[in-house]
Amino acid sequence: MAETRRILLALTSQATKGKTGKPTGVWLEELAAPYYLFLSEGFQADIASVSGGKAPLDPASVEGEQPECVARFLADTKAMDAVNNSKALATLSSTDYDAIFLPGGHGTMWDLPESQALASLLGDAWTAGKVVAAVCHGPSGLVSAKDADGRPIVAGRMVTGFSNSEEEAVGLTDVVPFLLESRLISLGGHYRSGPDFQPFALRDGKLVTGQNPASSERTAELTIEALRSER
Distance CA(219)–CA(209), nearest Å, equals: 6
Task: Report the alpha-carbon distance of residue 202 to residue 218 in Å, rounded.
Answer: 9
| Type and span of the H or E element at 89 | none
| C-alpha dist (Å) from residue 139 to 11, 31, 104, 123, 209 | 12, 14, 8, 14, 7
Please answer whether residues 153 and 147 qualify as being in contact, where contact means their C-beta atoms are separated by less than 8 angstroms: yes
User: What is the Cα–Cα distance from 77 to 191, expressed in whole angstroms?
Assistant: 38
Active site residues: 136-137, 167
* DSSP code of residue 75: T
